[in-house]
Amino acid sequence: MGSLATNADERVASVDFTEHDLVVGLMDGRRILVPLEWYPRLAHATPEQLRTWEICGGGYGIHWPELDEDLSTEGLLRGAPAPAR
């Protein structure tokens, strides 16, 4: 195992948005950037709904109460889009 693995902290530190992307900052300084189109509930949300999020799952998840959307840092790091409905 590499020396960086012992310092990895995949808990959520911040959540931001660009026009087309979700940007999640991790406690270890990394940033995950994924297309909003992967998550239709987020892509169609209002700016106010996007700003109303909370950390869940012991710090490894993000929940948007108004949108009933939950994402995990594990899924974001794997590059897992929302399942087709």
Structural domain contains residue 68: yes
Q: What is the CATH number of the domain that holds 45?
A: 3.30.2020.40
Cα distance between residue 26 and residue 19, in whole Å? 20
Structural domain contains residue 36: yes
Q: State pLDDT tens for residues 42-71.
A: 999 999 999 999 999 999 999 999 999 999
Instruction: Single out the residue of 50, 48, 20 nearest to residue 71, CA to CA.
Output: 50
Contacts of 80 by beta carbon, 8 Å cutoff, 6+ apart: none
Q: State pLDDT tens for residues 25-48.
A: 999 999 999 999 999 999 999 999
Average pLDDT, the chain: 92
Structural domain contains residue 13: yes
Could you identify the residue written with the tokens 């840092």?
73
Structural domain contains residue 63: yes
Looking at the 3D structure of the chain, how many domains does it have?
1
Residue range 17-23: average pLDDT? 96
Range of the structural domain that residue 17 is part of: 5-78
- For the record, the structure tokens of 44 come out as 């169609």
Question: pTM of the predicted model, to two decimals?
Answer: 0.88
Cα distance between residue 36 and residue 8, in whole Å? 25
